[in-house]
Amino acid sequence: MSLKYVAASRLPTRWGDFTLHGFEDLQSGKEHVALTMGEFDPQSPVLMRIHSECLTGDALFSLRCDCGPQLQAAMQRIAEEGAGVLLYLRQEGRGIGLLNKIRAYALQDQGHDTVEANIALGFEADQRDYSFVGEMLEKVGVKKARLMTNNPRKVAAMEACGVEVVERVPHCAGQNSHNSHYLSTKAGKLGHLL
């Protein structure tokens, strides 16, 4: 086990009450959380989303990406169904970190797309790691998922962790004139299904 389960608490939100579960990655020291709502039957698929941290989109309301609206739409959809899981992973900027993400933004301001900017900084296009997700889901009681994502890589990562994805639920939110090039790059270069 590479993850340590730390604690859980109630998290009231504008969409209802979630339970907030804290995990520590013993290898990287990063802290991740799972938000759960409702009860889960291990034999039934659970609506879920894997969301990587995006300070600029999630907390600062950036229009350069669709992250904040995707996070909020996932929480709302889980609340509407009355049950689900949202994993919030500390993998800012597709795994390159906040300051490197700002550097990548500066390159994008000069004409690079999001993939070219990461590569110009010496990174892969997407450095996120989902190998520990299975441990998080096991702790909260999920074995089958209806995964809210446009990223086929997340479906493959879930299945590699032993979680059966019975349905990929399209999850589009937050498109605007500031992020249209970003979204077309995600579709064209990263294979996202938009």
Write out pLDDT tens, residues 72-106.
Answer: 999 999 999 999 999 999 999 888 999 999 999 99
User: What is the domain class of 30-91+130-193 according to CATH?
Assistant: alpha beta
Annotated domain spans of the chain: 30-91+130-193, 93-127
User: What's the mean pLDDT in 93-121?
Assistant: 90
pLDDT tens for each residue of 143-164? 899 999 888 888 888 888 888 8
Provide the whole-model pTM.
Answer: 0.89
Residues known to be catalytic: 126, 128
Q: How do strand 3-13 and strand 16-25 relate by DSSP bridges? A: antiparallel
Ligand-binding annotation for 54, yes or no, is: yes
Cα–Cα distance measured from residue 75 to residue 176, given in angstroms and rounded to the nearest whole number: 21
Q: Which of 58-72, 78-92, 173-187 is predicted with the least confidence, judged by mean pLDDT?
A: 173-187
Q: Which pLDDT score is estimated for 176?
A: 62
For residue 189, give Cα distances in angstroms to 29, 48, 119, 170: 31, 25, 12, 18
For residue 87, give Cα distances in angstroms to 2, 12, 117, 137: 16, 16, 27, 9
Ligand-binding annotation for 65, yes or no, is: yes
Q: What is the pLDDT of the chain when averaged over all its residues?
A: 87
Helices (H), the chain: 67-81, 92-95, 98-109, 114-120, 133-140, 152-160, 180-190
Ligand-binding annotation for 91, yes or no, is: no
Ligand-binding annotation for 181, yes or no, is: no
Residue 193: pLDDT above 60?
Answer: no
Please report which confidence band the pLDDT of residue 43 belongs to, taking 50, 70 and 90 as the band edges.
Answer: confident
